[in-house]
Structure 1
């Protein structure tokens, strides 16, 4: 067999494999497969390092469950329900001068 033909076939096979892997890894999910967990997982991959992860999990009400499920050693054992909301800085509470006293988030 001709060396060029063998080289070309190897390159085509590699390209075909690469395209198939890309299609498999990045193919859009079917409508029935799209769940809140799927969307949150996809956003964590797509927006890695953007600093939006905690906000997404709080907004969807899944922060406590996900931290306890996936970060058991680092934070899961210590995560309490009141920690979903962060404490309000005291200087912000003190800055309210009119109306009723501004309350701190429960647990802090």
Structure 2
């Protein structure tokens, strides 16, 4: 947490974490977050990467361990095959809308499965 000055009080670590979690959970725009928190958009654009970086630095060793040998990779693939009936898979990502533009010849193979229309 930064220090208070004569000009303004510092934004607390609790407020920064709350703001970041709200952004990650809802995908709200910085403008919307500005209205709800009274924190300026430029400040928000600095806080969110800062807090995400701190979370990543603290939790990466616990939750983002990458396999170090072939046997670990095979074990992950086998677990996916058994649990989800999805063979040869080494990981999954869900819950985040990723915008991309497929090539013209492949366009029909890609579908937006998001529950939100954008």
When normalised by structure 1's length, the TM-score is: 0.25
Please tell me whether Structure 1 or Structure 2 has the larger radius of gyration of its CA atoms: 1
- Identify the structure with the greater helix proportion: 1
Specify which structure has the bigger relative contact order, considering alpha-carbon pairs within 8 angstroms and separated by 6 or more residues. Answer: 1
When normalised by structure 2's length, the TM-score is: 0.23
